[in-house]
Structure 1
Amino acid sequence: MERRAKKQQGEKIIYILAFTLVISVMSATMFNIVLPDIAEQFQLSIAQVSWVTSGYLLVYAIGTVIYGKLADTYRLKNVLTFGWVLLALGSMFGLIAQTYWMVLLGRIIQAAGAAVIPAVASIIPVRYYPEEQRGRALGIAMTGMSIGSALGPVVAALVVSSLHWRWLFFMPILTLIALPYYRKFLKDESVKAGRIDWIGGGLLVGAAALLLLAITYEAWLAVIGCLALFVLFVLRIREAAEPFVPLGLIRNKGYSLGLTLAFLATGIGYSLFFLTPQLLSQVHHLDSGTAGFVMMPAAVIAAILGRRGGKLADVKGIPFLFFSASAMLLLCFGFMSSFAEQSPAIIAGFLIFGVVGQSFLYMALSNQISRTMAKEQIGIGMGLLAMSNFMAGAVSASLYGKIVDHGSSMRWNPMITEPNAFVYSNLYLVLGIMHVCILGLYRFKLGRLVRDHIAVKG
């Protein structure tokens, strides 16, 4: 009876979560296209206004792990409400901003509140769905993310064409529609008594922030600071009575290996979203708006197939979904490496394999990682997963940008003849080979843990 009631609650919440993710993902990406407008209005350089996005990413990444930890100690509905209050305050502040520092502060406050959404999106499928049905729940959540990715550039273009760019701050306020439903349907679960190790949390947050700053601005002083704080963090979790990150979670081989594979896979998959617009611009000479429409079909197909991918994990098993996703990604990287100079319409078709494959891959790894943790570790464990994904995106974007800026005079794929396409073709080829290595690690390491887990449950 309790299991049935929990499932009914999950069914109601998961669709509300999907709606929330649509708005959240749209809001996180829309400001990218208005950076030139902000720079022009406040007489700043693009590098200066880039803090509107990099500052958001920084706070968003470290906020997910903090909310994940809070969800282990406080009721999830209260954690969510606190985050949404911050989100609304940041949005209202940004709407009335008249100076650049107000715009930046509004965006940072927004991020501090919005970070609760990816944290909750990782926790709800785990808490409200049994393992054999968790894939479907993750699939619905990924559908929301895919729809948000597809609509973000289009909605931003429509808003900017008819209103001032400042109205982009209004979009996240729409998520407040969902708050009463979360308050109603999220159960009043028992919470764990204890204190939060804010010193350990501060050390982890500081290390993550310095790492992102080091990557973004190539600051060696930030690298040294990051390493120092990380060493202090490790010492702290070994000595604290109730560490911010439980030592048992770090020593959990299944969790640690899954987190590592997720970080690598996210970094590789991020190339599809970061490199493709530059390829379409530099090789095919498309403007940003047209490039967005070329990438839209892949996001739409990923949204349509999201639930099906989740069901595959439940019916066929997590390894089946992982290998299917890997096959699609390898096809995409092979095609992109060989036909990077072909028409944008052909590239749009190839991207479908890659974006759908990356979506399925994330479902598979998230599902598996969620099964390696004790119940009381779900919040911090899934929060760390969300943070690692943002960190992977930041690291890979910096690396890809530097490689593209350097260019290449050599072609490793003989099917490419356009010199401007050499660097992209070479990158896609290398990334495909790297994914084969991830496939091997999963097959011989993490996949074995999946089979052992299923055997124990059976």
Structure 2
Amino acid sequence: MEEYIMELPAQLSQSQRSKLMIILTFVLVISTMNTTMFNVALPAIGKQFSLSPSQTGWIVTSYLIIYAVGSVIYGKLADQYKLKNLITIGITLMSLGSLVGFFAFNYPSLIIARVMQAAGASVLPASAMIIPTRYFTPETRGRALGMTSAGLTFGIAIGPIIAGLVTTAFNWNYLFIIPLLQFLCIPAFRTYLGDEKIGKQTKIDFIGAFLLVATIVSFMLAVSQSSLLFLIAFLIFLTLFIWRMKSATNPFIYPDLFKNKAYTLTLLTFALGAGVAFALPYLSPLMFQGVNHLSPFASGLFMFPGAMIAALLAKTGGKLADTKGNSTLAYITIVLFLIAFGTLSFIAGGSPYLVMIVLVFGYVAQTQFQIAMANTLSNTLSKEQTGIGMGLFMLVNFIASSIAGTFMGKALSSSANTSLNPFHLATDGIEYSNIYVILTIIVVIIAILYTIVLKTTRKP
């Protein structure tokens, strides 16, 4: 691993690496905005095409499913093919999808556009993990991961606000123009990324890839649709995928990856943290609108400070991980999560200004936790497993968010008369308070798991 670490960083100067990270951060901002902007536009799209709520939901769901699957596929391909070529193909496909979306004249063409966008844009979350891991040494990797996390967080923060302005001033189809800005960055990626191929080029296990995609898609549909049929399909595809992984000569994912105890435990810990963190962008607007009776635009403004501060502090967190170790940053984020969710369990449904302040702790924790776990995970991987290993890291983020969203949605739909926190201060928002109590307990479990992770990794 050490020989590999010294190879790629030496190919670029410090100035070139800095420019590469600025370009990567920019495209991540645009990419993340593209996942959240259309949430604001769904009512207008539904009205124009006379769609039912379930149909409009697929405009978002189809994108997220393909985006999640693509992050793993690109991660695997990055182990055998030039990363700069994959990014070129991905951004080009995303741009073509954006053009189709801008001229979409009916519902099917709009869905096709979103699928094309996701199929291309999903190269970016994989690249956000792979580039810092490949091109930066362990002593500087935290800063690079901090920049990518800042881009992801800022995109989440600014997406709904930009979408509200664009749809108000123009029309929802103009949202497809914004992602086209990424196309301008292709020359920079081709300049700064090298021609390296990390692993030996072997025949792609297309059967294994298909079974993996089918497993992921059926699972996410089972979760999002609460469907027994999709759950059965998931179990069947999962069984077939495990069989293929063990029996194929060159499987799409080598089983040795999951025999790596440090990697598996770190991935599990991150999954819990990603699910917990999803409560911030998911529950906050629902509580602001449903309990505090704020408009969607006002809800976005109350959430913006927390996400913005988290983005500004992301690089600082990366420096902390580089100088004091990943474990220091991870435990700080766990404390911040405890402060955020513990406090929210008291004030849920109360003053939105007070909630806005507390959300700052949560958003900072969310961003820094991803930095700490990505850095920890990268130290558990060999050079041949970097792409697929970090691709699975991003996949887990999407899956954990989907599961968390489903459970939290069901919790909100059930009427709660008793508060799990006897000191809950507001008269309304009991359901939200109860969810925050449970999230606080899960954060304690995360702290225990991460302590176990540290015992299985050589480097903190």
Q: TM-score range, shorter-chain basis?
A: over 0.9
8 Å contact 1:341–1:416 — kept in the other structure?
no
Give me the TM-score of the superposition, normalised by structure 2: 0.96
Three-state SS of the structure 2 residue aligned to 1:72 is: coil
Q: Does 1:321 align with 2:320?
A: no
Query: Which one-letter code corresponds to 1:366 in the other structure?
Result: A
Query: Which one-letter code corresponds to 1:442 in the other structure?
Result: Y
Identify the match of residue 12 of structure 2 among 6, 20, 28: 6
Deviation at 1:36, TM superposition (A): 0.8
8 Å contact 1:26–1:149 — kept in the other structure?
yes
Partner of 2:456: 449
How many pairs does the alignment contain?
A: 452
Deviation at 1:147, TM superposition (A): 1.6
Once the two structures are superposed, what CA deviation does each residue of 1:333-367 show, in whole Å capped at 9, x if it has no partner?
11100111321111000000011011111110010
| Aligned counterparts, 1:42-441, within 5 A | 42-191=49-198, 192-441=200-449
8 Å contact 1:340–1:424 — kept in the other structure?
yes
Once the two structures are superposed, what CA deviation does each residue of 1:27-82 show, in whole Å capped at 9, x if it has no partner?
11100011111111111111111100001001000010000011011100111111
Deviation at 1:416, TM superposition (A): 2.2
Q: Distance in 2 between matches of 1:280 and 1:375?
A: 46
Q: Distance in 2 between matches of 1:99 and 1:335?
A: 46
Deviation at 1:218, TM superposition (A): 1.3
8 Å contact 2:80–2:197 — kept in the other structure?
no
Q: Distance in 1 between matches of 2:108 and 2:171?
A: 18
Query: Which one-letter code corresponds to 1:274 in the other structure?
Result: Y
Unaligned runs of 5+ in 2: 1-5
8 Å contact 2:12–2:192 — kept in the other structure?
no
8 Å contact 1:10–1:125 — kept in the other structure?
no
Once the two structures are superposed, what CA deviation does each residue of 1:184-236 show, in whole Å capped at 9, x if it has no partner?
11011135221111111110110110011111111111101101111111111
Three-state SS of the structure 2 residue aligned to 1:453 is: coil
Query: Which one-letter code corresponds to 2:209 in the other structure?
Result: G
8 Å contact 1:95–1:170 — kept in the other structure?
yes
Q: Distance in 2 between matches of 1:49 and 1:272?
A: 23
Query: Which one-letter code corresponds to 2:390 in the other structure?
Result: M
8 Å contact 1:68–1:379 — kept in the other structure?
yes
Identity of aligned residues (%): 41
Q: Distance in 2 between matches of 1:372 and 1:205?
A: 25
Partner of 2:3: none
Three-state SS of the structure 1 residue aligned to 2:79 is: helix
Query: Which one-letter code corresponds to 1:222 in the other structure?
Result: F
Q: Distance in 2 between matches of 1:4 and 1:89?
A: 35
Query: Which one-letter code corresponds to 1:167 in the other structure?
Result: Y
Query: Which one-letter code corresponds to 1:106 in the other structure?
Result: A
Once the two structures are superposed, what CA deviation does each residue of 1:396-449 show, in whole Å capped at 9, x if it has no partner?
111111110113110122222545311111110110011101101111x10113
Q: Distance in 2 between matches of 1:417 and 1:316?
A: 38
Quickly say closer, same or farther: Cα 1:217–1:70, change in 2 above 3 A: same
Give me the CA root mean square deviation: 1.3
8 Å contact 2:347–2:426 — kept in the other structure?
no
8 Å contact 2:347–2:425 — kept in the other structure?
no
Three-state SS of the structure 1 residue aligned to 2:140 is: helix
Partner of 1:16: 23
8 Å contact 1:7–1:129 — kept in the other structure?
no
Three-state SS of the structure 2 residue aligned to 1:414 is: coil
Query: Which one-letter code corresponds to 2:137 in the other structure?
Result: P
Deviation at 1:151, TM superposition (A): 1.2
8 Å contact 2:346–2:425 — kept in the other structure?
no
Q: Distance in 1 between matches of 2:206 and 2:17?
A: 31
Unaligned runs of 5+ in 1: none
Give me the TM-score of the superposition, normalised by structure 1: 0.96
Q: Distance in 2 between matches of 1:124 and 1:370?
A: 11
Query: Which one-letter code corresponds to 1:236 in the other structure?
Result: R
Deviation at 1:7, TM superposition (A): 4.9
Q: Distance in 2 between matches of 1:149 and 1:206?
A: 28
Query: Which one-letter code corresponds to 1:373 in the other structure?
Result: L
8 Å contact 2:350–2:425 — kept in the other structure?
no
Once the two structures are superposed, what CA deviation does each residue of 1:305-360 show, in whole Å capped at 9, x if it has no partner?
01000000000101000000110110001110011132111100000001101111
